[in-house]
Chains A and B, each alone.
Chain A
Amino acid sequence: MDEKTILLMKGISKSFPGVQALKNVDFDLMKGEVHGLLGENGAGKSTLIKILTGVYQKDEGEIFLEGKPVVINNPRDALNLGIAAIYQELALQPYLSVAENIFLGHEITKQSKLVRFINWKKTHEEARKILKELELDLDLNTPIKELGIGQQQMVEIAKVLSKNAKIVIMDEPTSSLSEKETEELFKVIFRLKEKGISVIYISHRLEEIFKICDRVTVMRDGEKIVTLNPKTTTKDELIRYMVGRTLEQHYPKIETKKGEEALRVENLTRKGLFENISFTAYTGEILGIAGLVGAGRTEIVRAIFGADPIDSGKIYIFGKERKITSPQDAIREGLVLIPEDRKTQGLILIQTVLDNIVLSSLPKYKKGLLLNYREMTNESFDLIKRLNIKTPTAKKVVKELSGGNQQKVVIAKWLTQKARIFIFDEPTRGIDVGAKVEIYNIMNELVKNGASVIMISSELPEILGMSDRIIVIHEGRVTAEFSREDADQEKIMKAATAAG
C-alpha cells in the first residue's frame, strides 16, 4: 500500500433481505484527494458510504485507515477515526448560533469541581480560527436559520473540521445550491485539499466530477466498475460505465394497443419545484417518467393527484378539464396514485390486509347505514387471489408482510375502485426480483384492460423495459421525450443530467 493512501476498503460485501447491495467492492482514497463516486440510484454508493460511516455493518471485507485495520461499529467510531459525512439534509440546529452549531456535541468547556461550563471565549476563538482557515466570512452569533443553504453547508463543513476529520464525505452537496454557492463550495473543497483532508464526493452532475475530482470511481448494481482519472475520459464514457450495456433483468413487456387520451396536463407549475410541465398519457400504454431522485417527478404526480397544490396549469381527464384540489377529486375522476413510500404513504401498517384493501371505497360496501363485512371480505379474497398476495389470511396485519406483498396491497386498494389512470411512483423500490416481475405483470394486465399507466422510476432498465413512451424530468422541467424504439440508457441519462 502506498504511503499516501489514507483509506483502503477491500472486498466489501453487504446484503439486505432479498438484495445484495454490495458485491466485493474495493475502494481507496489518497491523502488530500477529491475522489468522485458515481452511479445510478441503487448502484450501492450510499450503502458503501454508510458502511464507512458506521451506519451499516459490512458482511464481508476489511477497512484500513492509514495502513492499519479498523473496526467501525457505529457512527461514533467513524467520527473518532476522523471520518465525517455531510448529508443532503443538513443536521444543524436552526435556532442555535454558528459557533454553537460548530461545537455542538463536543463543546469546549472549563471544568470546575462540580459542573462543566461552556467556555464561550475559547469556543468563539476556535470557531473563528476554523472559519478563517476556510476563508469564510460568517458572523459567529448568527442563528443558523438566518443563513442561506450554501452558508449552512459551510457551517456543516466547519463543524466537521472542528472534529479533526481526515476524510470528509459529501453526498450530493450541490443539489440545492445556486451556481454561485456551488463555486464557493468548490473553493472550500480546494482549501480542504490543501490542508491534506481527503474528500469523497458523490454527485450525479458529471460537470462537477470533471471540475473538482482527482479520480472517480463508478459503481453499478452493487459492484465497482472502474476507477479512473477524469482527465483521461469523457462524459459519454462515464455514462456508459454507469448504465452498463445490457438489460440484465427480465421485463415481461407485452404488446398493447394505444387507445384514447386519458390524462393530459398543460403547463403545470409549482414555484420552486416544477415548471411548465406538459405531457399526455393514453389508455393501453405505459408512460415512463425518468429522471434523477429530486428532479421533481414525485412532486408533479402528487400535484396531479391533488395531494399538493399547484400554482398554475390545467389538467384534462379523458378530454375534459378537471379541477383537482384533493385526492378525493382525483379518485372520483378515476385517477389514482401508488405513492413512492408504501410504508408512510400507502398503507395503514397497523391494520389488516382487509382493512387496507377496502379503505378507499368503504361507502361502496354500505348496506343501509352499516358496512357489509361479507362483501368486503369477498372482494378482498378475490383481490388477494388475483394479485397473488402472499398472506395466510385477510386479517393479517400489513406490517408483517414482505415489501412486495405490501405493494400489492396498495395496488389492490385501487382495484376496488373503477380507476382508469394509475400512477405508480417507484413501484418496485426495495422489493425482490420475483415480486418485481409480478408488479410488472399487474401493470400489463391494467393496460391490456384499457387503463392508462404512468410509472415513475429511477431505475433506467425498468423504464426502458416496461415503458411504451418515456419522458425525462430534470430540475422540474421536461427535458426530453422518447418512444420505446428511440430510447436508450445513454440518451435518457443525458437528458436526466442535462449533460452534453
Chain B
Amino acid sequence: MLEKAKNTQEAAKINWGKVKNILSSAGVLIALIVLSAILAILSPYFLEVENLMNIARQSAINSLIAVGMLLTILTAGIDLSVGSVLALSSVVMAILIKNMGINPLLGMIVGLGVGAFLGFLNGIMLTKLHLPHPFISTLGMMNIARGLALILTKATPISGFPPVVQFIGAGSIGVVPISFLVVIGVYIIYHIFLTRTPTGRYIYAIGGNIEAARLSGINVEKVLVIVYTLSGLMAAVGGLVLVGRVNAAYPLAGLGYELDAIAAVIIGGASFMGGVGTVWGTLVGAIIMAVIRNGLNLLSVSPEWQTVIIGSVIIGAVYLDVLRRRMETKTK
C-alpha cells in the first residue's frame, strides 16, 4: 500500500519535472508568440495565411541545416562547413542530372550522399587525425567544398530542372509548402532519434562529459562520426530544397548559412558547452529568425538594419538564458 503511494508520488514528481522542462523550453516559444503578436499589430498582413506560409517556406532551409548543427553543438562541437557542403552537394546533383542525363531521383540521392560523405570526412578528421577542435576541420572543409563547387561548375549556375527536383522546394499541398512538411517530418525523426535511441542519448552524454562517457564504455569516436555525417546530410537536404525553390544550383549558394544555423540552435536554448538542447527549441529558433526577417521586410526595414537586429536578437536570447540560469541557481 505504502509502496503504491510512493510510486504514484514518484510519478507525480516526474510529471512535474516534465512540466518544468516544457515550460523552460517554452521560453523561446513564448518569445515567438510575443514577437508575432507585435508584428501582427504593426502589420495586418503578417497573419495572412499567404504570409505565414511564406515564413514556413523561408524558414525551411535554415531549419533543416540547423537540426544537423544542433547535433554537433550538443556534442560541444560545431560544423562551419554546412553552407559549402550545401553548395557542393547541389552542384554535383545538378551536373549529374543536367549535364550527364542521369535519372533525377538517382541524382538527388547521390547529392545527399555527397553531403553525408563530406560530413563523414569532417568526423574522420576530428576523430582519426585528432585535429584539436571541429572548428578547424570544418573550417578547412568549408573552403575545400566551396572551391570544388566553383571548379566543377566553372563558377556558373546550372538551372532548369525537371518537376520532380522542383517539387520539394517549390511544391505545395493546398497552401502548405512541401518543404515545410519535410521539415516537420525531419524534426519528428530527429526528436525520436535524440530521445529514444542509444546513439541519441550518447550524443547528450558526450556533450555533458566526454571523459565520463568514454569511461562508461561509449564508443565516442563512432558517435562523433555519425553526428558530423548527419550534419553533412542535413546540409545536402537543405541544398535539395534550395535548388527546387529557385530551380537552379549555384556554386555560391549557402554563403553564411552556417551562421544562421548556429544562431537558430543558440536562440533555441542549446548550450554552446554541449549536452543541453532540443530539436523543438531549434525549430522555434529557426522560425523566430524567419519571422524577424519577414516582419522587418513588411515594415520596410532595410536589409542592413535587419542584420543589426538579428545580431542583437542572438545576444539578447543568450543573455536571457544566462539570467534564467542565474535565477535558478539563486532560488536553490
Which residues of A come within 8 Å of B, CB atoms? Answer: 305, 307, 326-328, 330-331, 337, 339, 344-351, 355, 359-360, 362-363, 366, 369-371, 373, 381, 392-395, 400, 413
* Contact assessment for A370 and B219 in the assembled complex, using a CB-CB cutoff below 8 Å: no
Residue of A nearest to B213 (CB): A348
* Contact assessment for A347 and B17 in the assembled complex, using a CB-CB cutoff below 8 Å: no
* Contact assessment for B197 and A395 in the assembled complex, using a CB-CB cutoff below 8 Å: no
Q: How far is the CB of A384 from chain B (nearest CB, A)?
A: 10
Residue B330 CB within 8 A of the other chain: no
Residue of B nearest to A302 (CB): B215
* Contact assessment for A349 and B217 in the assembled complex, using a CB-CB cutoff below 8 Å: no
Partner among A328, A345, A348 whose Cβ is within 8 Å of the Cβ of B217: A328
Contacts of A351 in B (CB 8 A): 204-205, 208, 275
Residue of A nearest to B198 (CB): A362
Contacts of B197 in A (CB 8 A): 366, 369-371
* Contact assessment for A371 and B196 in the assembled complex, using a CB-CB cutoff below 8 Å: yes
* Total contacting residues, chain B, CB less than 8 A: 26
Which residues of B come within 8 Å of A, CB atoms? Answer: 10, 13-14, 17, 192, 196-198, 201-202, 204-205, 208-209, 211-219, 275-276, 332
A395 vs B17: C-alpha distance when bound (angstroms):
7
Contact status of A345 and B13, CB under 8 A, knowing A360-B217, A362-B198, A363-B198: no
What does DSSP make chain B's interface, helix, strand, loop or mixed? helix
A339 vs B217: C-alpha distance when bound (angstroms):
13
Partner among A355, A359, A370, A393 whose Cβ is within 8 Å of the Cβ of B218: A359
A337 vs B214: C-alpha distance when bound (angstroms):
12
Contacts of A359 in B (CB 8 A): 201, 205, 213, 216, 218
Q: How far is the CB of A123 from chain B (nearest CB, A)?
A: 33
Contacts of B218 in A (CB 8 A): 328, 359-360
Q: How far is the CB of B139 from chain A (nearest CB, A)?
A: 24
Q: How far is the CB of B102 from chain A (nearest CB, A)?
A: 32
Contacts of A344 in B (CB 8 A): 209, 211-212
* Contact assessment for B275 and A350 in the assembled complex, using a CB-CB cutoff below 8 Å: yes
Contacts of A350 in B (CB 8 A): 208-209, 275-276
* Contact assessment for A413 and B17 in the assembled complex, using a CB-CB cutoff below 8 Å: no
A346 vs B211: C-alpha distance when bound (angstroms):
8
- Given A355-B201, A359-B213, A360-B216, 13 other A-B contacts at CB below 8 A? A307-B214, A328-B219, A347-B209, A348-B213, A348-B275, A349-B209, A369-B197, A370-B197, A371-B196, A381-B10, A393-B10, A393-B14, A395-B13
Contacts of A413 in B (CB 8 A): 216
Contacts of B213 in A (CB 8 A): 348, 359
* Contact assessment for B201 and A371 in the assembled complex, using a CB-CB cutoff below 8 Å: yes
* Contact assessment for A327 and B209 in the assembled complex, using a CB-CB cutoff below 8 Å: no
Residue of A nearest to B204 (CB): A351
A344 vs B212: C-alpha distance when bound (angstroms):
7
Q: How far is the CB of B321 from chain A (nearest CB, A)?
A: 14
